Structure 1
Amino acid sequence: MKPVDLPLPVVRRPQVRTDEEALERDLRARVDGEVRFDAGTRAAYSTDGSNYRQVPIGVVVPRTVEAATEAVAVCREHGVPLLSRGGGTSLAGECCNTAVVVDWSKYCNRLLSVDPANRRCVVEPGIVLDDLNRQLAEHGLQYGPRPATHPNCTIGGMIGNNSCGSTAQAYGKVVDNLRRLEVLTYDGARMWVGATDDAELARLTTGAGREAELYRGLVALRDRYAGLVRERYPDIPRRVSGYNLDSLLPEHGFDVGGLLTGSESTLVTVLRAELELVPVPKHTSLVVLGYEDICQAADHVPAVLEHEPAALEGVDHQLIHFQRVKHLNSAALRELPDGRAYLMVQLVGDTREEVDARARALIDAKPDDVDHTWYDDEQHVRELWQIRESGLGATAHVPGKPDTWEGWEDSAVPVDRLGDYLRDLKRLYEEFGYGHPSVYGHFGHGCVHTRIPFDLESEEGVARMRAFVEKAADLVVSYGGSLSGEHGDGQSRGELLVRMFGPEVIEGFERLKGLFDPGNRMNPGKVVLPYRLDENLRLGADYLPWEPETVFSFPQDDGRFSRAAARCVGVGKCRSSEGGVMCPSYRATREEEHSTRGRARLLFEMVRGGDDSPVTDGWRSDAVHDALDLCLACKGCKTDCPVNVDMATYKAEFLHHHYRGRLRPLAHYSMGWLPAVARAVALAPRTVNALSSVPWVARAAKALGGVAPERSVPVFAEQRFTDWWRERGGPRGDGHRGEVVVWPDTFTDHFHPAIGKAAVEVLEAAGFRVKVPDAAVCCGLTWISTGQLTVARRVLGHTLDVLRADLRRGTPVVGLEPSCTAVFRADAAELLPKDPDVGRLREQTRTLAELLVERAGDWQPPPVDARAVVQRHCHQYAVLGFDADRKLLERAGVDADVLDAGCCGLAGNFGFEKGHYDVSMACAEAALLPAVREADAATLVLADGFSCRTQVDQSDAGRTPLHLAEVLAAGLKGQEAVPERPAAPGARALLPLGAATATMLAVLVGAWRLRRSRH
């Protein structure tokens, strides 16, 4: 067929002039889904995982593929740009644009069909890779490519970027694992595309329709550029840069689906995909080899490849050091062999004997000076892989180091030249004054990841970044490599593609763009006709963020809230659907704004400001407030987030300023001031309990207090723990292990005093002399969580005054409630950084388990010999750790199933607040409550957190959880552990109606006066 001339796009960047109100109105009228043009949504979608930022016009969250098709039609009628988005983790800027963003991940995430015999399935683009593979597991199948973001990346996003991951060593890129795509062009042509034989191609190029026009144009492109493609496309497994014109070659079957893979939403909208599947490996081994340096490890890659590994990853000493500094993957790091650089070699097979024999052969063939470790159990293999998969987060925001950024993060070269390339790359780092950034990556495919300490906040720094990237591009091309080996081109490499392919092939890319998208409305400015690589920067030379005064000191961010707000790097781990704690509200709502990342984006926009920022009203921003409203302040992100975003602290700081000088929500008075209210109730707990059992009184009290009507008011204990302590007469026992202070937190003291009593019994039995503070004390937690930080500081200051003498004697403080204990270990030092004893409080505060394991290691706890389902409190998980509890439970003979169930959903005041009940219960139903229901009657349910126990108590699970102290105390007595909880009095316990009414009025008037006194 004679080549035909193909149109080039007429405009570099489309000039978008549209009536946004009319666009929004039409989208709402015609699209079955959520249409959002509000400031909060636009801020949350303003960037991805890259250095770039472009605020979208609006966001559409379609409920069905047909709804998404209608959204494209509306955009076409209004002439506005369009961008499809999956997990939003792209590192090259391809996932942000001044366009209407279609987010597929909330609803269009279905596995539509599975064909196990032919190993295929059909999916919608929003399905997350791990979710897909969990559904395929029953068939013994999986989707092969597995990026490090597998818990949260979507198949649509993987198709857009032609993703790879470590398993590409065995299975190849996405383009190698696709059968067909259903696609939609901007002008409305809809079709399934894939490999096309000659007869089908002849049929498709006949006719006058848009599909025939496209296929004729593709044939012309193939004929015009086939020679140049064969000549200039690097013959390496990780060529991800550029459009896949090679898929049109006869040797690749004229595969239009392959051509469109990796096109980053610049050509078509992907509606559905038919995927090729692979069997799940039956057996796996992981051999880790230790080398003197990373270049030597790279030199050894060709020899390791002879053993046909399923994955072959490289990790340098810097990455290991950064993980140690950030306390990431501590257990796995201890399993590494001697060395300063490592190759992680995964071997798979059908039998254990086969895999072990291959591992031994690899070990026998290694050089004598190379150390190794070898594991074939699932737990160790999974833990060690976390070292590699934590690379992006581990190399960002390292304490004491300059911030590092992407920009040259995934170049790829032939594997036999990898060592020399790394040596040259290191010399380039030194030439530009960037020191020695970590390098790691998919060494079996010659792909190198790195983050570089670019200065992106000055003209000189941005210019140096640009010069470095240009020189690095020339370097990788000189090695016959690819600018991108995994993450795509987007904006960061689009401008550099001409250096890799030459102007003639770039013209071919532009002709392809003109064929599918002649108006340049699909993700414009990315891949072809690109923005400059130093344009649209999230920071940039003109970045002058607002630096507000704060109550928290933010020591990890140099005392600057602007740095804290910019900490998120967009990796999106907070969008995973299971494992860890982060982020419970996202798991319940599937909303970007309710992820840790989404909230961080809004806070960034708040401090960034500027004419183009959607958030312009600082601390008073309703958009930021609304995004933070469903944050449970669980602190899961403090540990689970790779860069330790602490959204609970950010939320408290924001609420403090947002409500300063204004009336607060009712719940901030009723629950924020709970310690004060509880002390008042302690004067007549039976009366208050009796009143709260009267339906109309309970309804009125909950309405006044801003409490969810679905909740039951917790029952106050008739005798507080501290009252019991005073009646008891103080310490007992010989105290040969020394003195400890048992902290009487509000929840233990006023609601579950049996826990405090049990802790005293256990500590005395272990040989400690127990003290309990005489004065009324509190950690300030409830004031912190409601953003009443001035009061919280006063309360903490009083607490330090009470404890000062004990702290200076080195007396340990034992916390029984994890959330209160975590205040002493984390928040206190940030609220009172100048108090000389706050550091002592942090260092001397211990959980019950920690104290017994660390200071009574030879004490044998009583034999409990039971099974237990254990729910870790989120603050226990994020701040305190659980290792000591595991050891103590094991010593007591408890077979503990420690749930990886995320947050219980109650989270202090959150689950009690009006409007939060549904999200609270959705969090609990995700894993915790089903696990409790499934536990048999003989299995203990353990939960040290008051919130966790209350959530289970107020569910239909039919169980009353225990605290660790109660289990151990029951064991001391040789009894079965049975929870002792205060019960609400019945109707006979009520005061006469007149007295009851008067008492209730007194409580209401007191609450009203308290509220008035605050303002």
Structure 2
Amino acid sequence: MAVSAERTARGRPARNGRKGRGGDAGPGEGNAALRRALAGRVDGEVRFDAGSRAVYAHDSSNYQQPPIGVVVPYTVDAAAEAVRVCAEHDVPVLSRGGGTSLAGQCCNDAVVIDWSKYCTRLVSVDPGARTAVVEPGACLDDLNGELSAHGLMVGPKPSTHDTCTVGGMVGNNSCGASAQAYGKMVDSVLRLEILTYDGLRTWVGPTSDEEYARIQEAGGRRAEIYRALRALRDDGMEAIRTRYPDIPRRVSGYNLDSLLPEKGFDVARALVGSESTLVTVLRAEIRLFPVPPHQSLVVLGYDDITDAGRAVERVLPFEPLALEGMDDTLLDLAKEDRLAGPDVLADMPDGSGWLMVRFGGDTKEDADRRGRELADAMRDAPLKPRCAFLRDPAVEERLWKVREAGLGATAYPRGRPDTHEGWEDAAVPPGRLGDYLRDFRDLIREFSYDPVSLYGHFGQGCVHTRIPFDLEDGRGVERYREFVERAARLVASYGGSLSGEHGDGQSRGELLPIMFGDDVVALFGRLKAIFDPGGRMNPGKIVDPHRLDDDLDHLGYHPDEPRTAFAYPDDHHRFAHAAARCVGIGKCRASSGGVMCPSYRVTGEEEHSTRGRARILMEMMRGMRDVPRGEPAGDGGAIPDPAAPGPGGAVVITDGWRSRDVLDSLDLCLACKGCKSDCPVNVDMATYKAEFLHHHYAGRLRPAAHYTMGRLPLWARLAAVAPRAVNAALGVPGAERAAKLAGGIAPERTIPRFAAQRFTDWFKQREPGDAPETGRRVVLWPDTFTNNFHPHVGRAAVRVLEAAGYKVEVPPVALCCGLTWISTGQLDTAARVLRRTVRALAPRLRDGVPVVGLEPSCTAVFRSDAPELMEGDTAEDDVARLRDQTRTFAELLDEHHEETGGVPVPGPRGGGPAARAIAQPHCHQHAVMGFDADRRVLDRAGVHADTLDVGCCGLAGNFGFERGHHEVSTAIAEQGVWPAVRDAGPGTTVLADGFSCRTQIEAGTQARPRHLAELLADLLPPHA
């Protein structure tokens, strides 16, 4: 019996993006009537503005095609109405889920329907039958989270499982590593509710002869379609049976084989993988599978990746859940990018190519037994591998994530050219994989594209890679075309598929005759004509495809570089490269885990994801050209002629640094820096935002918050003259309200009160005998927040450091790291502040004295922002010393332990039970310094601390204080941090080193969070 599982869609935020905003008329008056009709008839958000078109101009491929407009429907019925409106206006339509397509099928000159914000419901689930009905925008991980209550899951699991949608999986015939056990998406689809462009809405699935007769008796458009489908099948039956490769990973082409009699004339499965080129999928009924209760992992090491490929046939009879391959290049990149810790990589057996074999079982013993059986059997194999049998589930999962992160890890290999998709997922019969890998690698070397990483779903013969194609000039594009044509012929010679996972789209649509022959490709055209006779469903993909070297994103993308404040050393010192860094994986759209992207998790808006912001910045740069070298940084950029052809594609954003569309997209960026570490390609949106604000407001009046919170260190220094008087003045009725109004501060926020005595004043007034006269010197950095608001944290840190044998020093003059100026884009001032700071610290830095930071955001400036901002400055050498010698409080104590073998902080006094705590790492610490040292220090101190993985607190420095941000700020906190703190057990200490984190936690809970220094100080003996 089906159980209702109606789920409330992601709540509609107060700020619904771009609906109703000025400038929605779109790219031309010709679309004005279409926009008005959509806005008047569709229950949803309708956007034709330049910013939305820029955000949706890309997927995860090499292509750029700005859409006509974007519709974000509130319901499935609203989406159906949008298609009807588009049909009345004879404009193309494209359905989009997670937008992670690598072949170009999710960008087009069409009206894009984005299902992923609202149409996300699990409509019903039948646990007995193991089936579910799902809306197309449902994210796979979120859906599996709901299904887990029934012990069930969706079978296919692509590496983008935390962001991909069910509709996208149906459209792409998705697979993933789990397809080894559960098949492709086509094997899970039972029925589809579809809508044709000309208005037929119906459920389709397998069709018996009796059902076919009933359909014909009813007549109408449905009968016409089924009649034409049967005629197509009958006419093409021989070609379908002989030209379709009999391999597990055939994703290329339409699933005409699903129409064969022995396949049940299954119309639903024939439509799976059609990439929105035939119909719009409104709902899907899918088969579910039991969640394996326990898993084990065996890793087999070989001398070469080709040997690993040849060993696949010997592993397959053991029926693993997944059988993945990986070479040493990917492993080296994982080490460089810290995708896995040394403890994980140490478990890898020796070799240059590996098979990762995952087994499931009803018990852990059963799963382990199956792993041992494989390991024992491989001892007698002709290619005897080195074997590692991993028994720790946590280590297994971290090692598995190294393989899952392949696309991101291989995109920007250090010291090598950038890589691209374009030939990244071909598949061959598993029994011929080793020979294919040998020949494919020879082809790569012939074109001088070596070295590249080869990895993938080896148990099904699917090989992933990214290749350093030169897609920026005509000659490089010619070589790209020549390579993929040769590669297509090679795959076809092995009886393989051009795509084993990512689909055809524009990358491979043109090459389909090489694989299938002209007769089968002609059948594809007939299928397209049956469902979409006018060619308005995602045109130019699969059937009558655009050339694979048309619409290339990077071809001609050479905007003149304006002078920038930051250096962008990882992007060849080019902001244009930084703006184009995103490869579209969409990990920033995940609903849980990690830090990024907090605002997206609240709004569900593509433009509020790191990916969306990166795309709009790239489009801004595409529209900026002929910027004279050496122009002042704030000139706003050249404004191109909108009618002129743009470099590397159509120009959408035409007003450069002055763009209101870009400003709006960045407005809800918290500058949390989560993307700097969590993004697979390390997009650093906080830095990009600061750069943009620097240019956008150059020579112009800034928002009030930039003059108040952006210059907080200055106001704090003035307030230190009479902090009690300032606090008292704010307490006068109406005074705080007026101050917030004038300062651009959210009326819902309470302005933090200044401490009666600054930390630096306390430190200066210490009695001579209070401090040790000897010991290793350390500079304790008096950041603005500790110094002026929470000086007790600084006092606690002094006590702990001196107990550990350090001689603590504090700068004799008021200094600043420049954080608040950086976050508000006042970068010239930030540079002057930093220059003054390093000049004052220089003598100590040159003596090798470490600098310890208590506020993570300020510490992160020294470790990350300052070197990039000050590159080429006269103070550059001292800034580098500051970067290398700055430590977090925990890092210093951890290094002290490693150097001396001593424990600076004892366990709980009196031999009592260990203290319990939950720790909220500051986002900047998560992104730049990490939290490992804190865990080790807490362990040594006898504190059992659970590190929260619930995302950003939502305050993020000045963001949560700024007028207009309070609703999003508190919604972020309510998604993770606040509930976790409220659920903490009695007596649990809440640790939060960040001033913002402590302030936000206090604002929404009864907890009084503490800094690590305070907790450790309390564990010291009374007179230490």
1:530 maps to 545
Structure 1 Cα separation of the partners of residues 686 and 346 of structure 2: 31
TM-score, normalisation: structure 2 = 0.93
Q: Are positions 1:479 and 2:498 aligned together?
A: no
Kept in 2, the 8 Å contact 1:825–1:843? The answer is yes
Note the alpha carbon deviations across 1:727-755, whole angstroms, 9 max, x for none.
11468555765110000000000000000
1:725 maps to 763
The worse-fitting range, judged by mean Cα deviation, of 659-668 and 426-435 is 426-435
1:844 maps to 885
Q: Are positions 1:354 and 2:403 aligned together?
A: no
Note the alpha carbon deviations across 1:638-661, whole angstroms, 9 max, x for none.
000010000000000000000000
Equivalent position amino acid for 2:897 in 1: A
Kept in 2, the 8 Å contact 1:329–1:383? The answer is yes
Measured after TM superposition, the shift of residue 838 of structure 1 is: 1.2
SS in structure 2 of the partner of residue 408 of structure 1? coil
* Residue number among 613, 616, 621 corresponding to 2:651 in the alignment: 613
Kept in 1, the 8 Å contact 2:96–2:106? The answer is yes
* Residue number among 438, 444, 461 corresponding to 1:446 in the alignment: 461
2:967 maps to 918
Alpha-carbon spacing, 1:836–1:143, altered in 2? closer, same or farther (3 Å): same
Structure 2 Cα separation of the partners of residues 152 and 225 of structure 1: 38
SS in structure 2 of the partner of residue 302 of structure 1? helix
Structure 1 Cα separation of the partners of residues 767 and 782 of structure 2: 16
* Residue number among 758, 767, 770 corresponding to 2:808 in the alignment: 770
Equivalent position amino acid for 2:159 in 1: A
Structure 1 Cα separation of the partners of residues 868 and 352 of structure 2: 36
1:262 maps to 273
Alpha-carbon spacing, 1:842–1:263, altered in 2? closer, same or farther (3 Å): same
SS in structure 1 of the partner of residue 1019 of structure 2? helix
Alpha-carbon spacing, 1:276–1:491, altered in 2? closer, same or farther (3 Å): same
Structure 1 Cα separation of the partners of residues 560 and 106 of structure 2: 26
Q: What are the within-5 Å matches in structure 2 for residues 115-194 of structure 1?
A: 115-194=126-205
Structure 2 Cα separation of the partners of residues 627 and 247 of structure 1: 44
Structure 2 Cα separation of the partners of residues 378 and 578 of structure 1: 20
* Residue number among 188, 205, 209 corresponding to 2:216 in the alignment: 205
Q: Are positions 1:761 and 2:761 aligned together?
A: no
* Residue number among 748, 759, 771 corresponding to 2:786 in the alignment: 748
2:924 maps to 875
TM-score, normalisation: structure 1 = 0.93
Q: Are positions 1:570 and 2:584 aligned together?
A: yes
* Residue number among 282, 297, 308 corresponding to 1:286 in the alignment: 297
Measured after TM superposition, the shift of residue 329 of structure 1 is: 2.0
The worse-fitting range, judged by mean Cα deviation, of 686-695 and 928-937 is 686-695
Q: What are the within-5 Å matches in structure 2 for residues 978-997 of structure 1?
A: none
2:99 maps to 88
Kept in 2, the 8 Å contact 1:730–1:771? The answer is no
Structure 2 Cα separation of the partners of residues 908 and 591 of structure 1: 22
SS in structure 1 of the partner of residue 394 of structure 2? helix
Structure 2 Cα separation of the partners of residues 613 and 595 of structure 1: 21
Alpha-carbon spacing, 1:112–1:731, altered in 2? closer, same or farther (3 Å): farther
Q: Are positions 1:43 and 2:48 aligned together?
A: no
Q: Are positions 1:398 and 2:416 aligned together?
A: no
Equivalent position amino acid for 2:886 in 1: T
Measured after TM superposition, the shift of residue 693 of structure 1 is: 2.2
Q: Are positions 1:661 and 2:699 aligned together?
A: yes
Q: Are positions 1:314 and 2:350 aligned together?
A: no
Equivalent position amino acid for 1:963 in 2: H
Measured after TM superposition, the shift of residue 335 of structure 1 is: 2.6
Measured after TM superposition, the shift of residue 357 of structure 1 is: 1.3
* Residue number among 504, 508, 520 corresponding to 1:493 in the alignment: 508
Kept in 1, the 8 Å contact 2:153–2:289? The answer is yes
Structure 1 Cα separation of the partners of residues 71 and 32 of structure 2: 14
Structure 2 Cα separation of the partners of residues 664 and 913 of structure 1: 13
Q: What are the within-5 Å matches in structure 2 for residues 340-419 of structure 1?
A: 340-367=352-379, 369-419=384-434
* Residue number among 322, 346, 352 corresponding to 1:334 in the alignment: 346
Measured after TM superposition, the shift of residue 379 of structure 1 is: 1.2
Q: Are positions 1:934 and 2:946 aligned together?
A: no
* Residue number among 895, 906, 918 corresponding to 1:862 in the alignment: 906
Structure 2 Cα separation of the partners of residues 974 and 75 of structure 1: 75
Kept in 2, the 8 Å contact 1:411–1:448? The answer is yes
Structure 2 Cα separation of the partners of residues 443 and 105 of structure 1: 31
Count of residues in Structure 1 that have an aligned counterpart in Structure 2: 959
SS in structure 2 of the partner of residue 675 of structure 1? helix
Structure 1 Cα separation of the partners of residues 658 and 791 of structure 2: 40
Structure 1 Cα separation of the partners of residues 288 and 508 of structure 2: 31
Measured after TM superposition, the shift of residue 18 of structure 1 is: 7.9
Q: What are the within-5 Å matches in structure 2 for residues 767-916 of structure 1?
A: 767-834=805-872, 835-857=876-898, 858-860=901-903, 861-864=905-908, 865-916=914-965
Q: What are the within-5 Å matches in structure 2 for residues 705-724 of structure 1?
A: 705-724=743-762
Structure 2 Cα separation of the partners of residues 699 and 386 of structure 1: 49
1:504 maps to 519
Structure 1 Cα separation of the partners of residues 783 and 768 of structure 2: 18
Kept in 1, the 8 Å contact 2:347–2:390? The answer is no
2:1016 maps to 968
Measured after TM superposition, the shift of residue 205 of structure 1 is: 2.5
Structure 2 Cα separation of the partners of residues 399 and 792 of structure 1: 29
Structure 1 Cα separation of the partners of residues 53 and 28 of structure 2: 18
Note the alpha carbon deviations across 1:255-306, whole angstroms, 9 max, x for none.
1100000000000000000110000001100111111110010010000112
Structure 2 Cα separation of the partners of residues 241 and 201 of structure 1: 28
Kept in 2, the 8 Å contact 1:326–1:398? The answer is no
* Residue number among 103, 112, 128 corresponding to 2:123 in the alignment: 112
Structure 2 Cα separation of the partners of residues 616 and 334 of structure 1: 51
Structure 2 Cα separation of the partners of residues 975 and 590 of structure 1: 53
The worse-fitting range, judged by mean Cα deviation, of 966-975 and 319-328 is 966-975
Measured after TM superposition, the shift of residue 960 of structure 1 is: 0.8
1:459 maps to 474
Measured after TM superposition, the shift of residue 694 of structure 1 is: 2.8
Alpha-carbon spacing, 1:900–1:83, altered in 2? closer, same or farther (3 Å): same
Measured after TM superposition, the shift of residue 371 of structure 1 is: 1.7
Alpha-carbon spacing, 1:701–1:448, altered in 2? closer, same or farther (3 Å): same
Kept in 2, the 8 Å contact 1:283–1:355? The answer is yes
Q: Are positions 1:253 and 2:264 aligned together?
A: yes
Measured after TM superposition, the shift of residue 665 of structure 1 is: 0.2
Kept in 2, the 8 Å contact 1:18–1:80? The answer is no
Kept in 2, the 8 Å contact 1:41–1:59? The answer is yes
Measured after TM superposition, the shift of residue 383 of structure 1 is: 0.6
Structure 2 Cα separation of the partners of residues 67 and 503 of structure 1: 39
Alpha-carbon spacing, 1:501–1:931, altered in 2? closer, same or farther (3 Å): same
Alpha-carbon spacing, 1:752–1:570, altered in 2? closer, same or farther (3 Å): same
Kept in 1, the 8 Å contact 2:72–2:117? The answer is yes
Structure 1 Cα separation of the partners of residues 63 and 775 of structure 2: 58
Kept in 1, the 8 Å contact 2:472–2:557? The answer is yes
Q: What are the within-5 Å matches in structure 2 for residues 571-650 of structure 1?
A: 571-609=585-623, 610-611=645-646, 612-650=650-688
Equivalent position amino acid for 2:915 in 1: A
Measured after TM superposition, the shift of residue 608 of structure 1 is: 1.2
Note the alpha carbon deviations across 1:789-822, whole angstroms, 9 max, x for none.
0000000000001110010000000000000000
Note the alpha carbon deviations across 1:581-626, whole angstroms, 9 max, x for none.
0111110110000000000001100111254311111111111111
Which structure 1 segments of 5+ residues have no match? Answer: 1-15, 977-1015
Kept in 2, the 8 Å contact 1:182–1:191? The answer is yes
Equivalent position amino acid for 2:744 in 1: G
Q: Alignment identity in percent?
A: 64
* Residue number among 696, 704, 719 corresponding to 2:734 in the alignment: 696
Structure 2 Cα separation of the partners of residues 29 and 884 of structure 1: 57
2:639 maps to none
Kept in 1, the 8 Å contact 2:91–2:536? The answer is yes
Which structure 2 segments of 5+ residues have no match? Answer: 1-26, 624-644, 909-913
